[in-house]
């Protein structure tokens, strides 16, 4: 799949920090059941790589990717684990160069026009605006659309169920990223019905 297909598969990409590896598969099932197939498993916890492996193997219909990929070694590791895409919080030259030799697409985080330029120089035109609300949110995306009308974004950072619809109306937004689909208390309590309900609400954001 190309990065635009990956991000367009659902209205929201849940940012998942797996604290307990035993919840990973059930959590992924609950999200996919609710109509959210594209999953970003972050490397913020020690279980990131293992969670990618398990979900890739056991959750049919999941489009499993890695988040918080910050260097070439991590990019290689998540590809080896079975991730079909990688998302970074930012972009630098070594990671951009490594993406040329990767078998999976890199969707890098950007916060400025200069970083958009860097991505484009490396042939990357599908990006994550991060941290979206901090760097201007919808106003920033509207401003970037002028000179970079062909670039598409997944804004992430501070976005909620309530604010997501306005982002999704923008012509350069494919989806939004968010953590609200996986509240810690629901995951800890293994309340998968709540996760599926939140996923259905998020899925309904795109008609």
Active site residues: 40, 128
Nearest of 38, 33, 64 to residue 51 by alpha carbon = 64
Omega into 131 within 30° of 0, i.e. cis?
Answer: yes
Q: How far apart are CA 108 and CA 87, in angstroms?
A: 5
Do residues 126 and 152 touch, judged by C-beta distance below 8 A? yes
User: Any idea of the CA torsion for 137, 138, 144, 145, to the nearest 10 degrees?
Assistant: 160
- Between the alpha carbon of residue 94 and those of residues 2, 70, 72, 97, 101, the distances in Å are 22, 10, 7, 5, 12
Residue with tokens 């998020």: 202
Whether 136 and 159 have beta carbons less than 8 Å apart is answered as no
Structure tokens at 199: 């996923």
């Amino acid at each position: 799949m190309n990065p635009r297909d990956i991000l367009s598969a659902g209205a929201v990409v849940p940012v998942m920090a797996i604290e307990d590896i035993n919840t990973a598969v059930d959590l992924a099932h609950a999200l996919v059941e609710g109509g959210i197939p594209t999953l970003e498993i972050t490397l913020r916890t020690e279980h990131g790589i293992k969670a990618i492996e398990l979900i890739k193997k056991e959750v049919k219909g999941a489009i499993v990717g890695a988040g918080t990929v910050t260097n070439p070694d991590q990019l290689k590791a998540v590809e080896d684990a079975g991730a079909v895409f990688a998302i970074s919080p930012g972009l630098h030259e070594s990671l951009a160069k490594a993406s040329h030799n990767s078998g999976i697409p890199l969707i890098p985080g950007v916060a400025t026009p200069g970083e958009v330029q860097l991505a484009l120089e490396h042939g990357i035109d599908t990006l994550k605006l991060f941290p979206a609300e901090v760097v201007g949110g919808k106003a920033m995306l509207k401003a970037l659309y002028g000179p970079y009308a062909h670039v598409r974004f997944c804004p992430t950072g501070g976005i909620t169920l309530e604010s997501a619809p306005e982002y999704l109306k923008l012509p350069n937004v494919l989806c939004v990223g968010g953590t609200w689909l996986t509240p810690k208390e629901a995951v800890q309590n293994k309340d998968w019905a709540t996760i599926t309900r939140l996923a259905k609400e998020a899925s309904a954001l795109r008609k």
